[in-house]
Amino acid sequence: MANTYTQIHIQLVFAVKHRNALINSSFKNELYQYIAGIIKNHNHKLLAINGMSDHIHIFIGMRPTQSLSDLLQDIKGNSSKWINEKKFLKVNFEWQEGYGAFSYSKSQVNNVINYINNQEQHHSVKTFREEYLEFLKLFEVDHDERYIFKEPL
């Protein structure tokens, strides 16, 4: 759209269904490349992508041509289908319902990229649930504890 100028930086966070540790290192990079392609095909800019075996962080420069929920539906739906079609796992792969989306100013971009790129180190001292609750508190997001990602059994 002519004469439309935006600067929208959003970190997306979502988990594997039941927080199962199913994102294996054997296909993790391929998955990230596949998700990067989805983001690029919708004309958004991928700034960082990383995660752990049970969840993922994606940081994008978002264009205002698509709703956030539509983008997430596309990412989660198509990546689940792709993982299952590739038969990377002996079980059916699904993402958990819901997601977190947190916006950042331009001055915070490098810090967020570094944070996402260092997920393994970060999670050596903090669980995903602790991390997620910190995001909700930091961004003052009202939430219902019943719907917060639970620790795996």
Residues 118-152 have pLDDT tens digits of 988 878 888 888 888 888 888 888 888 777 776 66
* C-alpha–C-alpha distance, residues 4 and 16, integer Å: 36
Please write the tens of the pLDDT for every residue from 77-103.
999 999 999 999 999 999 999 999 999
Share of the chain above pLDDT 90, in %: 71
Show the tokens assigned to 14: 């979502």
For the stretch 7-65, pLDDT in tens is 999 999 999 998 899 999 999 999 999 999 999 999 999 999 999 999 999 999 999 99
Collect contacts of 80-84 with beta carbons under 8 A, ≥24 apart: 82/31, 82/34, 83/27, 83/31
Crossing angle (nearest 10°) for helices 28-41 and 68-86 = 140
DSSP reduced 3-state for 52: strand
Q: What is the pLDDT of residue 150?
A: 67
Q: Which residues contact 112 (CB under 8 A, 6 or more apart)?
A: 9, 11, 47, 48, 59, 104
Nearest to 129 by CA among 113, 96, 152, 97: 152
Give the pLDDT confidence score for residue 1 in this predicted structure: 61
Q: pLDDT-based confidence at 5, cuts 50/70/90?
A: confident
Domain ranges for the chain: 1-108
Domain made up of 1-108: CATH architecture: 2-Layer Sandwich (3.30)
